[in-house]
Structure 1
Amino acid sequence: MAQFAVIGLGRFGSAASLELMRLGHQVIGIDSNSKFINRLADQLSHAVIADATDELALQELDIAGCDAVLVAIGENLEASILCVLNLKNIGVNQIWVKATSKAHHMILSRLGVSRIIHPEEEMGVKVAQALNYPMVSQYMALGNNQYLVEIDVSPRLEGHRIDELLADGAAFVKVVLVKRRDKLLSPVATDFVLERHDSLILAGSLEILKSLAPKLS
């Protein structure tokens, strides 16, 4: 179990806070708006009304000991930047920040935060990918144009062997594992026969995965 602080409890910050709680972690929620704090007070480990642009206020909350701090402040660019500077001054090492513009991103890059998040942009990409490849239930970019994708086995694919489906790209795609109900099956032989409701986890380049998409739909 880790401990996180989330600063800014609007829609994005509250969703992140509640998911971290669901995953079994401790979460300190911080916002200057009492309405947001009251809404989440009974659902977080701690919920505190505080001004994140005040370094002393952050020091008093002792969040330097958290495993990471997520700055989810919305459209107030100045408040977000001041908050990051304060976190660095009090010794927070892992700082994740929601960026709202290119200028905001550039400033955060210069400040050397651990990770910059563009939630609307990232969600837009995920939605576009889902529309373009409806057979892909999850995907994750690994860098250098390599992706990890989870493909739900449709009734049409039931009874097919993996090497039949991946014949054109088998040399360039790695079958990581197969999820079958509550089991994770790995390693996976090329002659493995798929069943309905299996999930196939593949790794490979975007180009190869695109070329295989028609066979997997």
Structure 2
Amino acid sequence: MAHFTVIGLGRFGVAASLELIYLGHTVTGVDKNSQIAEKYVDELTQAVICDATDEHSLRELDLDASDAVVVAIGEDMESSLLCILALKNLGVSEIWVKASTKAHHTIVSKLGVSRIIHPEEEMGIRVAQALNYPMVEDYLSVGHGLYVVEIQVSAGLNESTAGQLLIDSEEEIKVVMVKREQQIFTQVGRDFVLMEQDTLLLCGTREALKLLAPKLG
């Protein structure tokens, strides 16, 4: 279990906080608006009223106890930047920042934060991917041009083998895992027989996965 501090309790900040709590972590939510902070006092581990642009106020939050600080002040760029600078001055090393514009991203990237998040852009990409490949339940970029995608085996692939599915692309796409109801299979060879409604995790390049897509429908 880890502890996180989320600064800015708008829709993004609250969603991130509640999901972290659901995953078993503890979260201190911070907002300068007392009504907003009080609204989530029963849902978060701790809800604090604080002007996060004020270094002296931030010092009272015991940020050393946090594994990471998420700056979710996306719309007010000036407040976001002042908050980041204050966190840097306090020695916080793991800072994730929500950026709402290209200019915001450009400036934040010069401040040496751990990660810059673009929720609208990232969600837009996910929607486009879902529309383009409706058989893909979810996907994750793992770097170096590789992606992990989650698909559900269709009726047309019922009782086909992994080798038949990946023919001509076996060197470029690997089956990471197959989930069948409550069973998990991690050793999936060419002769593994797929069943309708199986969930597959495949790893490969975007190009290879795109070529495979027509077989998945």
TM-score, length-scaled by structure 2: 0.97
Q: Secondary structure at the match of 1:179?
A: strand
Runs of at least 4 residues off by over 2 Å: none
Give per-residue Cα distances to partners, 1:147-186, cap 9 Å, x unaligned.
1111111222211111111112112111111111222211
* Amino acid corresponding to residue 79 of structure 2 in structure 1: A
Q: Any unmatched runs of 5+ in structure 2?
A: none
- Root mean square deviation, CA, Å: 0.9
Query: Which range is displaced more, 207-216 or 173-182?
Result: 173-182
Q: Give secondary structure in 1 for the equivalent of 2:178.
A: strand
Distance in 2, matches of 1:74 and 1:117, equals: 10
Residue identity opposite 2:72 in structure 1: A
Describe the SS at the equivalent of 1:167: coil
**Alignment match, 1:190:** 190
Residue aligning to 1:4: 4
**SS of equivalent residue, structure 2 residue 192:** coil
- The count of aligned residue pairs is 217
**What residue identity is the alignment partner of 1:133?**
Y
Q: 1:26-175 residue pairs with structure 2 within 5 A?
A: 26-175=26-175
CA distance in structure 1 between the partners assigned to 2:174 and 2:165 by the alignment: 13
How big is the shift at 1:74? 2.6
Amino acid at match of 1:193: V
Give the Å deviation of 1:213.
0.3
Tell me the TM-score normalized by structure 1: 0.97
Amino acid at match of 2:26: Q
Query: Any idea what SS the aligned residue of 1:91 has?
Result: coil
CA distance in 1, matches of 2:184, 2:92: 37
Render the CA deviation track for 1:116-170: whole Å, top value 9, x for unaligned. 0000000000010001001111111122321111111122221111111111211
Unaligned runs of 5+ in 1: none
Cα deviation, 1:69-124, whole Å, max 9, x if unaligned, reads 00000311110001001111111110000001111111111100000000000000
